[in-house]
Structure 1
Amino acid sequence: MAPLEIASHPSPNCGARRDGLAPALVVLHYTAMQNAEAAIARLCDPDAEVSAHYLISVTGGVTQMVSEDKRAWHAGAGAWHGQDDINSRSIGIELDNSGTHPFPEPQMAALETLLAGIMARWNIPANGVIGHSDMAPGRKIDPGPHFDWARLARQGFAARPSAQSPETIDEHSFTACAHAAGYPQDTPFETLLATTRLRTAPWRRGPLTLADYTLPSN
């Protein structure tokens, strides 16, 4: 991978990570704004009270707004593997996308290069790369149905889905499998099903099936 050129646009919306925590996760978002410039302006606006460590434009340009050792304000309420305060546990990456179309090649290539560096620096495993929707089911849906999780998984930048073999196909067994994968335990079944499908099979509709038990692996 060619080295990234990273522009700097510091945001005041950050602070120290709490309780001595270091990054163990990367949370991926989409901006849902008109363009990268508008998103950066918002993420650096003290009145907005939001930020992220990085933003990647559709052309692959990378802008850093918060130092990796600082706590950016990107995740909000949510949990992963029973742990909250995701902001203190993660690095947030915003992707310039409305959520209505695929993510272009230059953007994905830049994301892969950025992830390679972050994961190496902080010893973050593939299953530590999650979507905003994963940690905040029902509240958030980004990076959305058009994001290519399979591409990241093939290169070791996200967890590969693993098929489970439940004794019964029902709400209880599915919920148990989703919780084991990391999804928050206070999530209603229908929301949990929609959220996991968003990650592994965004085209799937209808009742719970055995195929839905193919979830991101630990």
Structure 2
Amino acid sequence: MFKWLLLFAGAGLFYLWIKGKKQAKLDSENPIDLNKNKPKKVIDPEVMVQCQYCKLHLPESEALQHDSRFYCSKEHLQVLDSEGWIGNAHWCVSPNQDARPENISPDLAVIHHISLPPGEFKNQTSSHHIVHFFQNKLDPNGHPYFAEIANQKVSSHFLITRSGQLMQFVSTQNKAWHAGKSSFFGRDKCNDFSLGIELEGDGETPFEEVQYEALNNLIKKVAGAYPQLQFAGHSDIAPDRKTDPGKYFDWKKFQKETGISPDKLPFGLGS
């Protein structure tokens, strides 16, 4: 009897061993997908943005970003758009602007210099005061000179800082308040038909090379949009009141590096 029990036990163990081998083979041929019953991760759609220049929609990861704006290419980042703004400029919109007279496009670019407080750029970065001035946010208590000018309403289309940074305050399609009482060969009110370009400086200090480089790049962009542009200093259109851009602005260097025809510098290279 005992022999039969051993025989049955052995047969049972052998059966279980054979069954285990078969199951192992099945498992190896059909592995269990441990992730089968896990909830699938939801992939959020990529944020789409619009090119400021051409209005093309594209994924944010593929766009070039400057300030809070997006562009589809370097070319579109660096040009003057259809609304009169340059993409790679830092936009600081000024309230001191209005519409040009009907059917008038700019055909004059006026070069200025500005420094707030006067000459302070020699000691520390001070271009933010110019930005505040053009936006009517200048603190009259910040400096004695500020108290004299804080209530003036002034702007320019562009500012080039001592570090060569380009800032834009007014669309080229609109009128900035930069020229004041002025006349260009018998045409008064130069704001109506001009662009104002401010270089950070005081008239007693040579301008920086990076400022000339930024100015040259700017001129290429605006001259492409306004091919009839002529160029003058503030002192040329308001000689009784103004001296800027001053004796340290190198008109010959400006003409040579931009390739502007001397005919478009009506006051001469010794302006």
Q: Which runs of 5+ in 2 are unaligned?
A: 1-74, 79-86, 118-125, 138-150
Corresponding residue for residue 160 of structure 2:
56
Corresponding residue for residue 160 of structure 1:
262
* 1:72 Cα deviation from its structure 2 partner: 0.4
Provide Cα deviations, 1:90-139, integer angstroms capped at 9, x if missing partner: 010111101111110111100100011011111134xx111000111121
Corresponding residue for residue 121 of structure 1:
225
**Matches of 1:132 and 1:151 in 2, distance apart?**
18
**Counterparts in 2 of 1:49-128, with a 5 A limit?**
49-125=153-229, 128=230
Is contact 1:32-1:99 (8 Å) kept?
no
Task: Letter of the 1:48 partner, please give it.
Answer: Q
1:20 alignment partner, SS class: coil
* 1:182 Cα deviation from its structure 2 partner: 5.7
Q: TM-score, normalised by structure 1?
A: 0.69
Task: Letter of the 2:252 partner, please give it.
Answer: A
**Matches of 1:63 and 1:15 in 2, distance apart?**
19
Pick closer, same or farther for the CA change 1:6–1:142 going to 2, 3 Å: same
**Matches of 1:86 and 1:26 in 2, distance apart?**
10
Provide Cα deviations, 1:15-65, integer angstroms capped at 9, x if missing partner: 000243110000010013233111111111174211001111011101110
Pick closer, same or farther for the CA change 1:158–1:32 going to 2, 3 Å: farther
Task: Letter of the 1:41 partner, please give it.
Answer: H
Query: Which of structure 1's runs of 4+ aligned residues deviate more than 6 A?
Result: none
| Structure exhibiting the larger radius of gyration computed from Cα positions | 2
**Matches of 1:146 and 1:121 in 2, distance apart?**
28
2:192 alignment partner, SS class: helix
Pick closer, same or farther for the CA change 1:140–1:52 going to 2, 3 Å: same
Corresponding residue for residue 113 of structure 2:
30
Corresponding residue for residue 45 of structure 1:
136
Provide Cα deviations, 1:50-86, integer angstroms capped at 9, x if missing partner: 1001111011101110011000000011111211110
Task: Letter of the 1:39 partner, please give it.
Answer: I
Q: TM-score, normalised by structure 2?
A: 0.56
Q: Which runs of 5+ in 1 are unaligned?
A: 162-180, 184-195, 201-215
Is contact 2:97-2:177 (8 Å) kept?
yes
What is the RMSD of the two structures over their aligned residues, measured on CA atoms?
2.3
**Matches of 1:5 and 1:104 in 2, distance apart?**
20
* 1:158 Cα deviation from its structure 2 partner: 5.0
Structure possessing the higher relative contact order (Cα contacts under 8 Å, 6 or more residues apart) = 1
